[in-house]
Amino acid sequence: MMKVAAAATSLSLVAAAPYTPPTYTTPSNLTHPGLDILAKRAGLLYFGTAIDNVVLNNTAYVSIAHNVSEFGQATPSNGQKWMYIEPQQNVFNYSMADAIMKPAKEAGQMRRCHTFAWHSQLPDWVNNGNWTKETLTAVLENHIKNEAQYFKDDCYAWDVVNEAFEDDGSLRNSIWLQVMGPEYIELAFKWARQYTGNGTRLYYNDYGIERVNNKSLAVAEMAKDFIARDIPIDGVGLQAHFTVGRAPTYDEVSAALTLFDDLKLETALTELDVRILLPDSPEKQELQAEVYTNATKACVDVAECVGVTVWDFWDPVSWVPESFPGYGNACLLDDDLQRKPAYYAIEKMLDEVAKK
């Protein structure tokens, strides 16, 4: 994918040229062709969304979620996680994932698949098993094998390992690390390549790596080591769960993306949302629009960043209020499924880039 890369020389980086988005407090005068159409015109591969099973009975929501002009890529936000896919050992259930993957495929949307190995949302039988290194290794391989083969050729990309690092750059003390050791990460990537084949992009995915910091540098060093040892890795996903007032700048996101751009790895913003400390206000929505636009523009400008996925697009189904009490309104559409200033800001920026 050919785009203008942000300037950088090494893992220490030179930040990309600053971008200051204009303020958008009213709808643009575009005819709203759709964010995916505009993203493609601006040089991205897709603009996508996560979709959750809890609202699949809402026809208005579903019609937007699978509108390929708006969202050219779909990610099951929960349906492919371990607790739902393998709730009992060697008993696999793909119904939740299929409820999102099949309509996405029929609509012509790309699919990012999420996730094989993670410390969270594991069933009790995994968390509470009396494992040895040998037995847990077999469990992880069996899970990846079955899920990867079931969705073979259906996924543009897989988040193979999710959130394996702490903020200080050390490895997270998960059951995988405790029992299998650090090599569980490279084993997961080897099995993912073995069972998905060569056509699926294999990603490492994490939050808090949208700035150059201890965590993002540790991920970059792991990726560099994998490349040197021919461990299959194709990309790094920056989750991009942001907060108004504490979000990284355009320069910071650009620099973090460029860490992996320098390694010739594909990147994407995989779970973008921007939470607001409630009560909401027009001023906070304006700041939210700036954060959304900064992040998306950084992806547009860094050569190997292929796309942006929002972590759902409708405020009532956002994960934010439950996980961050007192915060909310993190998505692009409000309670009434109406576009918010952040939507219009992204829309206008993409349109302006495409016309240059």
| Residues that are catalytic | 163, 271
Decide: helix, strand or coil at residue 224: helix
How far is 124 from 175, CA to CA, in rounded Å? Answer: 12
Q: What is the DSSP string of 123-161?
A: -HHHHT----HHHHHHHHHHHHHHHHHHTTTT-SEEEEE
**Radius of gyration over alpha carbons of the chain, in Å?**
19
Main-chain dihedrals φ then ψ at residue 237, nearest 5 degrees: -100, 125
Nearest 10 degrees: CA dihedral of 188, 89, 96, 37?
0
Q: Choose among 121, 71, 74: nearest CA to 100.
A: 74
DSSP 18: P
Q: Choose among 119, 122, 120, 103: nearest CA to 111.
A: 103
Query: For the chain, how many helices (H) and strands (E)?
Result: 13, 10
Helix residue ranges per DSSP H, 197-249? 214-228
How far is 265 from 250, CA to CA, in rounded Å? Answer: 20
